[in-house]
Amino acid sequence: EENGHQNKRLKTGANEEDVEDQNKKSPKRKIVLLMAYSGKGYHGMQRNVGSSQFKTIEDDLVSALVQSGCIPENHGEDMKKMSFQRCARTDKGVSAAGQIVSLKVRLIDDILEKINNHLPSHIRILGLKRVTGGFNSKNKCDARTYSYMLPTFAFAHKDHDVQEEAYRLDRETLDKVNKLLACYKGTHNFHNFTSQKGPRDPSAKRYIMEMYCGEPFVRENVEFAVIQVKGQSFMMHQIRKMIGLVIAIVKGYAAESIIERSWGEEKVDVPKAPGLGLVLERVHFEKYNRRFGNDGLHEPLEWTQEEEKIAVFKEQHIYPTIINTEREEKSMANWLNTLSIHDFNSSAVEMQVNNKNSK
């Protein structure tokens, strides 16, 4: 049956014996793929089978896997059949430089080249490694590192009239940003940094290993900076809200004490920074690497040889998209204008009373 499905996809002129030979020569194996993509125009990473109007990165990936002959067509329709698992579900518009997916495929010749031939240029498979049969990229991942690229005028105080292209971040403000970002380190209750989680939900507790803002740099006359955050795992919108709250404090809309308050049980109004600048940088498999990385059969899941390809992809596809979209659509500038309508001082009870009164 699989060969029949496969056959439809083959170019005319190929016969069934070729397909049989190809399938015998390339048994199914569990692998991981290192992926990079620019997320603009996509509704996130994860495929929504049955809702074709919301295009995702996995839609394009699965299509390329079928067309290249790595998986039969019916596995594309039911992803469980190939034990597919993505390491991180990136949200709408979010990019990745080091996403990992695990799945079973036929190890055909020139597999990476063949898959990439069926992908758009803003999605690339940069590496492949064999893994253990029971490997699951989501469960085996110890930590994830994200970056967030933003124009530095986001940190200009609200009382200063700022020309966006002329603004340059001073040392004192950068030090303040880093002092605030460091407050997130450790284990905290992040229920205020996502939706649909209550303060007593154990899964709202998350562990952050590091968070800092690097030195600013100028691109296309605008100064940018990149915030890095490494954590065990993140909830939907968590990083964007963590950054949104720091921007609100640095700009003078909220008091520094709001970060401590947000760990408590009361509902705190936390603004969510735009998705545009967020990039999944890398995923970490330290425990797996210690156990299987040097067992003689498997390689450690590290990508030092692919680092140059990752850097080139970011320069060609991710950074220009963030910079050009920011210039054309002004997503950060427009979002900054909404900060004044947030209520950073009232408690949840006061907010409910105000809502009733306004109604």
Residue-wise burial string across 47-75, b where 16 or more C-beta atoms lie within 10 A, e elsewhere: beeeeeeeebbbbbbbebbbbbbbbbbeb
148 is in an annotated binding site: no
Alpha helices by DSSP H, 53-110 = 57-67, 73-77
Which entry of 91, 159, 269, 295 is annotated as an active-site residue?
A: 91
The answer to whether 59 is a known catalytic residue is no
For residue 285, count other CB atoms closer than 10 A to its CB: 23
Same-fold call for 28-139 versus 143-283+308-355: yes
The fold for domain 143-283+308-355 equals Alpha-Beta Plaits (3.30.70)
pLDDT, the chain, mean:
88
pTM of the model: 0.86
Q: Where are the domains of the chain?
A: 28-139, 143-283+308-355
Per-residue DSSP letter, 75: H
For residue 310, count other CB atoms closer than 10 A to its CB: 20
* Helix (H) / strand (E) containing 205: strand 205-213
CA dihedral sign of residues 341, 39, 49, 28: negative
DSSP string, 137-199: TTTT--EEEEEEEEEGGGGS-TTS---TTT----HHHHHHHHHHHHTT-EEEE-GGGSSS--T
The tens-digit pLDDT sequence of the chain (359 residues) is 334 444 444 444 444 445 445 555 567 899 999 999 999 999 989 987 766 678 999 999 999 999 999 999 888 888 888 999 999 888 888 999 999 999 999 999 999 999 999 999 999 999 999 999 889 999 999 999 999 999 999 999 999 888 889 999 999 999 999 999 999 999 999 999 998 899 999 999 999 999 999 999 999 899 999 999 999 999 999 999 999 999 999 999 999 999 999 999 999 999 999 999 999 999 999 999 999 988 888 889 999 999 999 999 999 999 999 999 999 999 999 999 999 999 988 654 455 555 555 55
Asked if 12 contacts 21 with a C-beta cutoff of 8 angstroms, the reply is no
CATH class of this structure's domain 28-139 = alpha beta
For residue 226, count other CB atoms closer than 10 A to its CB: 18
Can you tell me the distance from the alpha carbon of 146 to that of 273, in angstroms, rounded to the nearest whole number? 14
